[in-house]
Structure 1
Amino acid sequence: MSEKISVVVVGGGAAATTVAAALDKTLDPSRHSLTLITESDYLRHHPAALRAIVTAEGNLEDQICIPYDKVFGKDKKGGAGRVGTVKFGKVISIEENANEEGGAIVLENNERVKWDYLTIATGSEWNGPLRWPTKREDVKSYLDNWRERLATAKSVLLVGSGAVGSELAGEIVEFFPSTEVTVVNRNPLPLNETYPDSFRERVKAGLTGRGVKFIGGDSVSSLAPNVLNGTESVSPGRSITTDKGVKVAADLIIPTTGRRGVNTHFLGASSSPSAANINKSLVAGGHLDVLATLQLKTNPRVFAAGDVVALPEQHTLIKAANHAPVVAANIFALIQANGDNKKALKNYTKAMDAILITNGRTRGVMYVDLFRFFGRPIIFGDWLSAKLKSNGLLIGMAKGMMNQD
Structure 2
Amino acid sequence: MSAKKNDDRKSVVVVGGGAAGVNIARPLSFKLDATKYALVLINPRPFRVLLPATLRMVVSDADNLGTTALVPYDKIFHAENGTFLQDSVRSIQEKSLTLGSGQEVPYDILILASGLSWTDPIAFPDSAEDTKAYLVRNHEKFAQAGSYLLAGGGAVGCELAGELKDIWPEKEVTIMHKQRLLFNDTYTDRYRRSAANHLTARGVTLHLDDTVEGLPAEAGPATVLTKGGLKLSADLVLKTTGPTHPNTDFIPSFDADALTPAGFVKVKPTLQLLNHPNIFAAGDIIEWNEQKQAIKAGAHAKLVVQNVLGYISGNGSSLKTYKTGFEAILVTNGKRGGISYFGVLWGLIFGGWFTALLKSKSLLVPMFRKESGLV
Q: Normalising by the residue count of structure 1, what TM-score does the alignment of the two structures yield? A: 0.88
Task: Give, in whole Å, the separation in 1 of the partners of 2:310 and 2:31.
Answer: 10
Residue number in structure 2 paired with 1:100 = none
Q: Does 1:395 align with 2:369?
A: no
The alignment partner of 2:318 has SS state of coil
Residue-by-residue CA offset, 1:209-265 (whole Å, 9 max, x unaligned): 11111000111133233x2xxxx44x3xx5322122112121111110001111101
Q: Does 1:143 align with 2:135?
A: yes
TM-aligned CA deviation for residue 282 of structure 1: 0.9
The alignment partner of 1:250 has SS state of strand
Residue number in structure 2 paired with 1:17 = 22
Residue number in structure 2 paired with 1:260 = 244
Residue number in structure 1 paired with 2:3 = none
The 5 A counterparts of 1:187-336 are 187-225=179-217, 227=218, 232-233=219-220, 235=221, 238-268=222-252, 272=253, 275-276=254-255, 279-336=256-313
The alignment partner of 1:285 has SS state of coil
Task: Give, in whole Å, the separation in 2 of the partners of 1:218 and 1:54.
Answer: 26
Q: Does 1:64 align with 2:62?
A: no
TM-aligned CA deviation for residue 2 of structure 1: 7.0
For structure 2, list consecutive stretches of 5 or more residues without a partner in the other structure. Answer: 1-5
8 Å CA contact retained: 1:358, 1:385: yes
TM-aligned CA deviation for residue 352 of structure 1: 2.6
Q: Does 1:363 align with 2:337?
A: yes
TM-aligned CA deviation for residue 296 of structure 1: 0.7
Residue 377 (structure 1) aligned to one of 344, 347, 352: 347
Task: Give, in whole Å, the separation in 1 of the partners of 2:299 and 2:135.
Answer: 31
For structure 1, list consecutive stretches of 5 or more residues without a partner in the other structure. Answer: 97-102
8 Å CA contact retained: 2:75, 2:373: yes
The alignment partner of 2:58 has SS state of helix
The alignment partner of 2:213 has SS state of coil
Residue-by-residue CA offset, 1:270-324 (whole Å, 9 max, x unaligned): xx2xx13xx3221131111111100011111110000011111111111101001
The 5 A counterparts of 1:2-41 are 3-41=8-46
Task: Give, in whole Å, the separation in 1 of the partners of 2:224 and 2:285.
Answer: 35
8 Å CA contact retained: 1:182, 1:248: no
Task: Give, in whole Å, the separation in 2 of the partners of 1:110 and 1:163.
Answer: 38
Residue number in structure 1 paired with 2:124 = 132
The alignment partner of 2:302 has SS state of helix
Residue-by-residue CA offset, 1:319-353 (whole Å, 9 max, x unaligned): 1010011111111111121xx6x432111121331
The alignment partner of 1:128 has SS state of coil
Residue number in structure 2 paired with 1:93 = 91
8 Å CA contact retained: 1:183, 1:214: yes
Task: Give, in whole Å, the separation in 2 of the partners of 1:130 and 1:190.
Answer: 21
Task: Give, in whole Å, the separation in 1 of the partners of 2:348 and 2:19.
Answer: 28
* Number of equivalences: 370
Task: Give, in whole Å, the separation in 2 of the partners of 1:34 and 1:308.
Answer: 21
Q: Does 1:104 align with 2:96?
A: yes
Task: Give, in whole Å, the separation in 2 of the partners of 1:251 and 1:394.
Answer: 31
Residue 345 (structure 1) aligned to one of 307, 310, 319: 319
Q: Does 1:179 align with 2:171?
A: yes
Task: Give, in whole Å, the separation in 1 of the partners of 2:185 and 2:40.
Answer: 39
TM-aligned CA deviation for residue 154 of structure 1: 1.1
Moved over 3 A (4+): none
Residue-by-residue CA offset, 1:26-63 (whole Å, 9 max, x unaligned): 21111111100001110111111100111112221111
Task: Give, in whole Å, the separation in 1 of the partners of 2:165 and 2:223.
Answer: 19
Task: Give, in whole Å, the separation in 2 of the partners of 1:198 and 1:224.
Answer: 33
Give the fraction of aligned pairs with identical amino acids, expressed as a percent: 38
Task: Give, in whole Å, the separation in 1 of the partners of 2:191 and 2:108.
Answer: 45
8 Å CA contact retained: 1:322, 1:351: no
TM-aligned CA deviation for residue 172 of structure 1: 0.7
Tell me which amino acid in the other structure corresponds to 1:108: G
The alignment partner of 1:343 has SS state of helix
Residue-by-residue CA offset, 1:128-151 (whole Å, 9 max, x unaligned): 212011112222211111111111
Task: Give, in whole Å, the separation in 2 of the partners of 1:312 and 1:151.
Answer: 39
